[in-house]
């Protein structure tokens, strides 16, 4: 049994079909998420005055919201059970003098993160899968650079990329920064001060050539994933980020102006993606495909046709396609780079690229500056031909 701060996002994303799991909600004592191969449900578990274990079904987690389940438990729980403080409190109660890192993360840091950070769900996954199994049983005051160095070494030996390991280091550092700020167990200094992340030089950008694009599209058409034939061309022809496409809803598309609105982009602001006539054709075909399987009222543009919800991941389908096309080194994000490359080499300015790709600052866009070399050489040649012809005319 695992204990964690449940969130509606996490509950929606968790998959069934595997072995049974019971997850205790650290935000509402007595509430459990029972995940079985055939579904998910909320359950109240408690011990009565006779010290007997009791369980009571609250409702189907695919229908009932987490908020409703917590309300039911808090309002109708038998008196035998002590109810924990609600998550809406400004901060969880103070920790004991020997606070374990696991307790600090579940009872204090994650509740704070879920109220203040967009990436809290992703942080919860990193803690649950990578950090707490290694650091969870250590008193928070005892965590040292040696512990983190051992964690880094283990993760590299397991094959994780340096960038992934650096994200793990960063999240541990952030959690300990908050522990110092909140004076957990009297902490007055950061135990990882001066601990450096791994050197991870940026990789060369990968762009698809016309020939590679043709091979990729052929492989996509042969894919067993029915929506991939729409998603991949959409990404390549719009430069959209993967999640911007997968989470897109029909209500976000203005068919008159041919614009997709991303309500909350990576920069934290809305952004607007122009849609070409070719993209509008892709959307029309995707809509017909979705309507055939799910009906005309599905709100998502590229849903999983089995669930009607956005895909959580497309990695396995994409991995088969890129290997089939002989493009094993091409990542899905490289479709965005290829779109930018096409823009620059067709005469778009870097300012145009910045606006279309939705970069928060110009520095990010400048990585594409070198792509205009051929176009600038053509312009320089044009100028030289002009003056050579003028000089010959004067002879």
Q: Would residue 266 show up in a list of annotated catalytic residues for this protein?
A: yes
In this predicted structure, the answer to whether residue 77 has a pLDDT above a threshold of 80 is no
Q: Which of 70, 128, 242, 336 is catalytic?
A: 336
Q: Which of 147, 162, 266, 320 is catalytic?
A: 266
pLDDT at res. 363: 72
Residue range(s) occupied by CATH 3.30.160.390 in the chain:
1-88
Q: Would residue 9 show up in a list of annotated catalytic residues for this protein?
A: no
Q: For the chain, how long is the longest CA-to-CA vector?
A: 113
Number of other residues whose CB lies within 10 A of the CB of residue 270: 12
In this predicted structure, the answer to whether residue 79 has a pLDDT above a threshold of 50 is no
Q: What percent of the chain has pLDDT over 90?
A: 36
Which CATH superfamily hosts domain 1-88? Integrase, DNA-binding domain (3.30.160.390)
Q: Which residues have C-beta within 8 Å of that of residue 24, sequence separation ≥ 6?
A: 1, 2, 3, 4, 31, 32
Q: Would residue 243 show up in a list of annotated catalytic residues for this protein?
A: no
- Extract the tokens encoding 237: 């022809």
Q: If you average pLDDT over residues 266-277, what whole number do you get?
A: 84
Secondary structure class of 329 (helix, strand, coil): coil
What are the counts of helices (DSSP H) followed by strands (DSSP E) for the chain?
Answer: 17, 8
> What digits encode the pLDDT tens for the residues 184-238?
988 889 999 889 888 877 666 788 888 999 999 999 999 999 999 999 999 999 9
pLDDT at res. 230: 96
> What digits encode the pLDDT tens for the residues 52-76?
677 778 888 887 888 888 887 776 6
Q: Would residue 51 show up in a list of annotated catalytic residues for this protein?
A: no
Secondary structure class of 294 (helix, strand, coil): helix
In this predicted structure, the answer to whether residue 86 has a pLDDT above a threshold of 50 is no
Q: Which of 18, 218, 333, 385 is catalytic?
A: 333
> What digits encode the pLDDT tens for the residues 330-364?
989 899 888 888 888 777 877 887 888 887 777 77
Q: Classify domain 90-201 by CATH number.
A: 1.10.150.130
d(Cα 233, Cα 224) in Å, to the nearest integer? 16
pLDDT, averaged across the chain: 83
Residue range(s) occupied by CATH 1.10.150.130 in the chain:
90-201
Q: Would residue 79 show up in a list of annotated catalytic residues for this protein?
A: no
Q: Which of 241, 242, 337, 354 is catalytic?
A: 241
Q: Classify domain 210-375 by CATH number.
A: 1.10.443.10
Q: What percent of the chain has pLDDT over 70?
A: 84
d(Cα 143, Cα 135) in Å, to the nearest integer? 8
For every residue of 136-187, DSSP letters joined together read TTSBGGG--HHHHHHHHHHHHHTT--HHHHHHHHHHHHHHHHHHHHTTGGG-
Which of 38, 37, 35 lies closest to 25 in space, CA to CA?
A: 35
pLDDT band at 326 (very low <50, low <70, confident <90, very high): very high
Distances (CA, A) of 50 to 8, 53, 78, 213: 34, 9, 13, 69
Q: Would residue 336 show up in a list of annotated catalytic residues for this protein?
A: yes
pLDDT at res. 205: 73
| pTM of the model as a whole | 0.57
């Amino acid at each position: 049994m695992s204990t964690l701060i449940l969130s509606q996002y996490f509950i929606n994303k968790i998959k069934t079909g595997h072995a049974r799991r019971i997850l205790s909600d650290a935000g509402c004592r007595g509430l459990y998420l029972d995940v079985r191969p055939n579904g998910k449900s909320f359950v109240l578990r408690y011990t009565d005055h006779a010290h007997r274990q009791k369980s009571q079904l609250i409702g189907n987690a695919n229908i009932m919201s987490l908020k409703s389940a917590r309300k039911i438990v808090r309002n109708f729980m038998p008196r035998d059970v002590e109810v924990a403080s609600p998550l809406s409190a400004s901060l969880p109660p103070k920790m004991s003098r020997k606070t374990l890192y696991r307790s600090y993360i579940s009872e204090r840091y994650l509740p704070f993160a879920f109220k203040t950070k967009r990436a809290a769900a992703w942080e919860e996954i990193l803690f649950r899968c990578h950090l707490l199994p290694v650091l969870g049983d250590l008193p928070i005051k005892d965590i040292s650079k040696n512990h983190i160095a051992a964690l880094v070494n283990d993760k590299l030996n397991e094959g994780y990329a340096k960038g992934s390991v650096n994200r793990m280091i960063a999240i541990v550092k952030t959690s300990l920064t908050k522990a110092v700020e909140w004076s957990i167990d009297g902490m007055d200094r950061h135990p990882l001060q001066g601990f450096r992340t791994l050197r991870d030089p940026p990789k060369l950008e990968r762009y698809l050539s016309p020939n590679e694009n043709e091979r990729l599209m052929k492989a996509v058409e042969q894919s067993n994933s029915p929506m991939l034939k729409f998603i991949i061309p959409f990404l390549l022809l719009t430069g959209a980020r993967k999640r911007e496409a997968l989470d897109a809803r029909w209500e976000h598309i203005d068919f008159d102006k041919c614009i997709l609105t991303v309500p909350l982009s990576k920069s934290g602001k809305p952004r607007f993606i122009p849609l070409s006539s070719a993209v509008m054709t892709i959307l029309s075909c995707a809509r017909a495909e979705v309507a055939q399987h799910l009906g005309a009222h599905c709100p998502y543009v590229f849903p999983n046709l089995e669930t009607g919800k956005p895909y959580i991941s497309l990695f396995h389908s994409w991995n088969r396609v890129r290997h089939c096309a002989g493009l094993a080194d091409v990542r899905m994000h490289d479709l965005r780079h290829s779109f930018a490359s096409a823009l620059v080499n067709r005469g778009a300015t870097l300012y145009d690229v910045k606006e279309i790709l939705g970069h928060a600052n110009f520095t990010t866009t400048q990585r594409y500056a070198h792509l205009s070399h051929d176009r600038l050489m053509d312009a320089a040649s044009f100028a030289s031909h002009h003056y050579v012809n003028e000089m010959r005319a004067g002879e």
